[in-house]
Amino acid sequence: MMQSCESSLALKESVVDGRSCVTDCSCQACFPALKQPNLGPLGHAHHESIMSERCAICGCQVHRKGDYAKPTLRGRSHATRHHYVAERFFGRSKNRPRSQREAIFAECPWKQEGNTETFCYECHEELLHNPVLLPEDVKRFAELVHLRGLREERKPRGRSKVAGRIVLLREVVSLGLDELLASSRQQCRAGQAHQLTLDVET
What are the pLDDT digits (tens) for 71-80?
999 999 999 9
User: Phi and psi dihedrals of 21, rounded to 5?
Assistant: -125, 155
Q: Are residues 165 and 180 in the same domain?
A: yes
> Is pLDDT at 35 greater than 70 in this prediction?
no
β-partners of residue 120 are 79
CA angle 160/161/162 to nearest 5° reads 95
Based on the structure, what is the number of domains in the chain? 3
Regarding whether 97 and 69 lie in a shared domain, the answer is yes
State what percent of residues in the chain have pLDDT above 90: 59
Q: Find the helix or strand (DSSP H, E) in which 13 lies.
A: strand 10-16
| Same domain, residue pair 41 and 11 | yes
> Are both 164 and 199 inside the same structural domain?
yes
Same domain, 122 and 171: no
Question: What is the spatial distance between Cα 127 and Cα 57, in angstroms, rounded to a whole number?
Answer: 10
For residue 52, what pLDDT is reported?
84
Residue 200 confidence (pLDDT) above 90 = no
Are 118 and 144 found together in one domain?
A: no
Q: Do 200 and 183 belong to one domain?
A: yes
Average pLDDT over residues 2-10: 35
Count of C-beta atoms within a 10 Å radius of residue 181: 14
Q: Count CB-CB contacts under 10 A for residue 175.
A: 10
Give the domain extent around 107.
57-130
Distances (CA, A) of 141 to 131, 134, 145, 157, 178: 14, 11, 6, 23, 18
**Structure confidence at residue 100 (pLDDT):** 73
pLDDT band at 24 (very low <50, low <70, confident <90, very high): very low
pLDDT band at 93 (very low <50, low <70, confident <90, very high): confident
- Does residue 37 have a pLDDT over 50? no
The answer to whether the beta carbons of residues 34 and 19 sit under 8 Å apart is no
Q: Which of 130, 148, 163 lies at the terminal end of a domain, its last residue?
A: 130
Residue 150 shares a structural domain with residue 192 = yes
Residues 6+ positions from 29 with CB-CB distance below 8 Å: 4, 5, 181, 184, 185, 188
Domain boundary, last residue among 113, 130, 147: 130
**Least confident range of 7-21, 46-60, 116-130:** 7-21
- In 3D space, the residue among 44, 70, 49, 47 whose CA is nearest the CA of residue 60 turns out to be 49
Looking at the fold, whether 106 and 77 belong to one and the same domain comes out as yes
pLDDT at 193 over 90: no
What pLDDT does residue 81 have?
94
